Amino acid sequence: MEQKKLRSTEWFGRSGKDGFIYRAWMKKQGIADHEFDGRPIIGICNTWSELTPCNSHFRELAEHVKRGVYEAGGFPVEFPVLSLGETLMKPTAMLFRNLASMDVEEAIRANPIDGVVLLCGCDKTTPSLVMGACSVDLPTIVVSGGPMLTGRHKGRSISTSDIWRFSEANRTGEMDDMEMSLAEAGMCRSDGHCAVMGTASTMACMVEALGISLPGSAAIPAPDAARKIMAQRSGYQIVQMVKENRKLSDILTREAFENSIMVNAAIGGSTNFVIHLLAIAGRIGVELTLDDMDKLSANIPLLVNLQPSGQYFMEDLYYAGGLPAVMKELLPRLHIGCLTANGKTIAENYDKVVCYDTNIVSPLNAPFNPLSGVVVLKGNLCANGAVIKPSAASANLLQHTGKAMVFEDIDDYKQRIDDPELEVDEHSILVLKNVGPKGYPGMPEVGNMGLPAKLLAKGVTDMIRISDGRMSGTGFGTVVLHVSPEAADGGVFSVVEDGDMIVLDVPGRSLRLEVSDEVISQRILNKRIELPKADRGYVQLYQQHVQGAHLGADLDFLRGSSGSKVTRDSH
Ligand code: FES
Ligand code: MG
């Protein structure tokens, strides 16, 4: 790769007034003259925040990255960006993913940065940082924060996936408030992100499979010393990447995206993967569609036995050999020549890996579950597509015809779901509208809405649920998500009515509303869409520009890249 003049020399390599200003204010941080000698400046993009508990250890982690940067002869500068905490932000952290990506993009481009380390952990912190960095396209490496230790409650392992079980048990009275409070304390026992194959772990695996983090980094638990060493090694590596001018676009090829889709199928990754990967592809300029997701994952079985599709936890995956054990099994299917952050190919990185526990990572010829990945559904109910994760669904519901029970929005759902008079039985299909990108706004994780109390009392544990929203990566059930066009766009999904028959056929990849085209057109003509519209600020911008879920729900004007060219001086 060509040697390139470092962009930071446009600041610190200058003489006269401008160079004086650029260096003098940096020197007040105790930086010596010789550090401005043209060594690579590495921006450490930190999502530490006390409001993002999953990333609470990132100030310490950044110090380990810095060790590696210094060791390789670089000059680290840590800077904060908008940090999206999944659990606290209302109405949903997803509403702000694109905003955070703008922060990241502009912060990188405007500053004297030659290479970037992205410190990512909680769900949205990974895609927002990667999206922003792609729109600049400098040498970039991701350091994920690692999963938290497995939770413990009453002598058994628990995780985020139990939240839904606990809350149903609490609603039926099987678990009292006192026990709920004990479970709360046992769930999150250490630093790190959610301990199952939820969205955060899925994102950590995604960046490793794409080749933009070091091999082996995805599954190391946050409190493990190996996580700190991985941070240091990544700091060392980014300096080499700058020297060799190995940019994101050199790594993020169409083949790299295909690899990550296959890996996501094998690990039983979150449905949120679909939306984030499409958005990232849009930024780096790789052609990728929802149909690619379906086609590429169709023949990949589920190899990893982790919740919510299986039994175990991220900690167990690490002890079994981590993502490398999965990559090794998948090598015959992957594009093994893809370049990765360390300058080596996928084949070179993973060929010699050993799996230590085939209960956790099964071999390709004896998979844990032949069903995997994310299936893309098409049909009149979702002209642009919808998704379902069959490995987290009930096998007996994958082909099913049922009567719709429709909730016009989340408030309607909350008001009526536990009504004993609600006309539903276990064969009904629950439909929740207006939880899409524009409609909610922000596309929250409410798609795996709880079942009606009267059916829970009867012992029903799953029903088909359909919405234009998302589901937590830790969630499970026969849940159809990301229906596009969303209800707020006024299409077929917006006019489903109580009692309409819906046909779900996952093997046939279809989702149909059994209502004639004439009746549907008439209903659409009569439909009045009343969106809660923001009258100012970012949310207004978001509602005006957000694209459909099938395109990754990015803002239309953010697709693509503006490059890393240094702009005019500030003085
Ligand atoms: Fe942060 Fe699950 S809430 S990763
Ligand atoms: Mg989530």
pLDDT in tens, 318-344: 999 999 999 999 999 999 999 999 999
CATH code, 289? 3.40.50.2300
The Cα–Cα gap between 424 and 77 comes to: 58
Partner residues linked to 479 by β-bridges:
465
Q: Are residues 222 and 77 part of one domain?
A: yes
Is residue 329 located within the same domain as residue 408? no
Q: Which ligand 1 atom is the nearest neighbour of the CA of 86?
A: 3
445 alpha carbon, closest ligand? 2
Q: Give domain status of residue 157, yes or no.
A: no
Provide the pLDDT for residue 391.
87
Cα(152)–Cα(165) distance, rounded to whole angstroms? Answer: 15
Nearest atom of ligand 1 to the alpha carbon of 472: 2
pLDDT tens readout for residues 497-508: 999 999 999 999
* Same domain assignment for residues 138 and 60: yes
- The string of pLDDT tens digits covering residues 32-52 is 999 999 999 999 999 999 999
**CA-proximal residue: ligand 1, atom 2 (nearest):** 194
Mean pLDDT of 412-416: 97
- Measure 114 CA to ligand 1 centroid, in angstroms: 30
**Atom 1 of ligand 1, nearest CA residue:** 122
| Residue 2 scores a pLDDT above 80 | no
* Substitution candidate for ligand 1 out of 86, 162, 164, 189 with most atoms within 8 A of CB: 86
Instruction: List the domain range (segments joined by +) for residue 424.
Output: 375-534+541-545
Query: Given the CA of residue 53, which atom of ligand 1 is nearest to it?
Result: 1
In the chain, how long is the greatest CA-to-CA distance?
A: 79
CA dihedral 251, 255, 258, 259 (to 10 degrees): -60
Residue 361: inside a domain, yes or no?
no
**Ligand 1 atom closest to Cα of 198?**
2
The complex scores an ipTM of 0.91
Choose which residue among 57, 122, 149 to substitute to test ligand 1 binding: the one with the highest number of ligand atoms within 8 A of its C-beta: 122
Instruction: Give percent above pLDDT 70 in the chain.
Output: 99
- 78-112 burial string, b = 16+ CB within 10 Å, else e? beebbbbbbeebebbbbbbbbbbbbbbbebbbebb
Q: Report which bound ligand comes closest to the CA of 92.
A: 2
Q: Say if residue 292 is in the same domain as residue 391.
A: no
Q: Which atom of ligand 1 is nearest to the CA of 87?
A: 3
Q: What is the pLDDT of residues 359-393, one digit of tens each?
A: 999 999 999 999 888 999 999 999 999 999 998 89
**Angstrom distances, CA of residue 3 to CA of 43, 241, 242, 243, 460:** 20, 11, 9, 7, 63
Q: Is residue 73 part of a domain?
A: yes
Q: Does 127 map to a domain?
A: yes
> How many CB atoms neighbour CB 352 within 10 A?
8
What pLDDT, in 10s, does the model give residues 270-310?
A: 999 999 999 999 999 999 999 999 999 998 999 999 998 89
The CA 86 to ligand 1 mean position distance, Å, reads 6
CATH number of the domain residue 441 falls in: 3.50.30.80
Answer yes or no: do 335 and 430 share one domain.
Answer: no
Distance 54 CA to ligand 1 centre (A): 6
Residues whose beta carbon lies within 6 Å of some atom of ligand 1: 54, 86-87, 122-123, 160, 193-194, 198, 200
d(CA 503, CA 381): 10
Taking 60 as the threshold, does the pLDDT of residue 1 lie above it? no
Give me ligand 1 centre to Cα 183, in Å: 17
pLDDT of 538 higher than 60 = yes
149 contacts 221 by C-beta, under 8 angstroms:
yes
pLDDT in tens, 215-261: 999 999 999 999 999 999 999 999 999 999 999 999 999 999 999 99
Ligand that lies nearest to the alpha carbon of residue 272, given by its number in the listed order: 2
In a domain, 283, yes or no: yes
Identify whether residues 342 and 382 lie together within a single domain: no
Q: Is residue 390 part of a domain?
A: yes
Angle formed by the axes of helices 254-267 and 199-210, to 10°?
A: 140
368 occurs within a structural domain? no
Q: Say which residue, 166 or 96, is predicted with more confidence.
A: 96
Confidence of residue 3 (pLDDT cuts 50, 70, 90): low
Taking the CA of residue 85 as reference, the ligand 1 atom at the shortest distance is: 1
| pLDDT (average), residues 460-465 | 96
Which pLDDT score is estimated for 474?
Answer: 82
Cα-trace Rg, the chain = 24
CA 182 to chain centre: 29
Q: Please indicate, yes or no, whether residues 411 and 278 belong to a single structural domain of this protein.
A: no
Residue with the two structure tokens 């991220």: 314
CA distance 441 to 443: 6
Same domain, yes or no: 219 and 72: yes
What is the side-by-side strand order in the sheet with 75-80? 75-80, 41-46, 115-120, 140-144
pLDDT digits (tens, 9 = 90+) for 123-180: 999 999 999 999 999 999 999 999 999 999 999 999 887 887 898 889 888 999 999 9
Do 462 and 390 share a domain, yes or no? Answer: yes
Assess if residue 384 is contained within a domain: yes
Residues 255 and 338 in one domain: yes
How many folded domains does the chain comprise? 2
Same domain, 342 and 380: no
Tally the C-alpha atoms within 13 A of residue 351's C-alpha that lie toward its C-beta: 8
Digit-coded pLDDT (tens) for 43-79: 999 999 999 999 999 999 999 999 999 999 999 999 9
420, 487: one domain? yes
Which of 51, 92, 194 has the most ligand 1 atoms within 8 A of CB, as the residue to mutate? 194
Instruction: Measure CA of the first residue to CA of the last residue in the chain; give whole Å.
Output: 34
